[in-house]
Amino acid sequence: IRIPLRQMLSVRTQLRASNRLEDFMRDHQPDVFNRRYAQCYPPGIPSLRLGKSSERLYNFMDAQYYGLISLGTPKQNFTVVFDTGSSDLWVPSSYCVSEACAMHRKFKAFESSTFTHDGRMFGIHYGKGHMLGIMGREVLKIGPLTVKNQEFGESVYEPGFVFVMAKFDGVLGLGYPSLAEELGTPVFDSIMNQKSVDQPIFSFYLNKSKMPRDPEGELLLGGMDEALYSGPINWNPVTLKSYWQIKMSSIQVQGALTFCPRGCQAIVDTGTSLIIGPNRDILALQQLIGATPTSIGEYLIDCARISSLPQVTITLNGVEYVLTAESYVKRELMGDHEICFSGFQGEDLHSSTDPLWILGDVFLSDYYSIYDRGQDRVGFAKARHTRYATLDAEMDS
């Protein structure tokens, strides 16, 4: 089942373009970066018992890739982030009272003949505020695929300014069931239970190519597309079935330091565009790639120096994945002026084992990723970003 993904401007980019980013970061710092969800509302939800990970990687400030789903009969369309860093499905409710909901499409339960009211509430903590909502069951459509009786959340209150600016309406989580804040079955588990796909896997292709005929991105449910990658698939066992969490052997800056030489844990997260690591390591890494800090915690890079910057190599299960500066430097236009930013960000995330890193779109746009629930493993292969150009050349010859 092939789901096209569109690449849109992130909230961070929109704020920068309107000269509001500095004010926002100053006023909303905890809301943006501190994702510790130990105290969630309402209390008593079984999935929030003590001992469950308190980290939730809802860094939607930098989410870029969105796709289309529909709920209800007749269908109501929503744009969502397909997010491997969470496990819930939620969209705004027609009863939502927050400013963010006014800017997005809202689910109208009273217009659907297949809606079933659940009656339970859910709550997700976002820094200083709580997202609140009610649960329901509905027919979900993702492309041609139909999921019957899918549990989902209707948000009635969305905190913070991030959701006001966001181009997406909601989130469809693709993590493991243990990560879910809502009671019920995550979407891909429902898909597997209803035997709607041939294989219990899904794969992501995130494109940074500007070739006009290349897809911006693609989620493939139930398989992988060999036309979108080259070379072998290298597999990594999941170390903790919550996030798609794997072992990372090391991360090295060319000719310089090696970080986490004794190994770290890494979360593969399609919901953020960045690579995130411990503050101390990231600070040293930024210095090695010549990035200089701004007053709001971002790191600038001289665009003219990109070709001379070192490679960064991430080693996973014995395989080296090389990122050039063209991959880890993010370019943005401010009027007619180009600005370059580091794609690395520091944040100390709690982990009961090794230091924790997050591999977001900076990594995933270079490497095709496959998520295998049947064998609890994540696979990577070199993404092919000129698929149609290559096919045209083959046809011409």
Catalytic positions are 83, 269
- For the record, the structure tokens of 165 come out as 């600016």
Sequence-ordered alpha helix ranges (H) in 113-173: 162-165
Burial class (CB in 10 A: 0-12, 13-18, 19+), 397: exposed
Amino acid at 173: G
Dihedrals phi, psi of 297, to nearest 5 degrees: 90, 0
Determine the Cα–Cα distance for residues 310 and 256; give it in Å rounded to an integer: 9
Burial class (CB in 10 A: 0-12, 13-18, 19+), 151: buried
Residue 178 CA: distances (Å) to CA of 84, 110, 175, 241: 13, 31, 8, 7
Cα 168 to chain centroid, rounded: 12
Which of 81, 43, 72, 280 lies closest to 169 in space, CA to CA? 81
Burial class (CB in 10 A: 0-12, 13-18, 19+), 119: exposed
Mention every residue, 6+ apart, whose C-beta is less than 8 A from residue 210.
none
Which of 54, 68, 62 lies closest to 124 in space, CA to CA? 54
Burial class (CB in 10 A: 0-12, 13-18, 19+), 247: middle
Cα 239 to chain centroid, rounded: 19
Mention every residue, 6+ apart, whose C-beta is less than 8 A from residue 51.
none
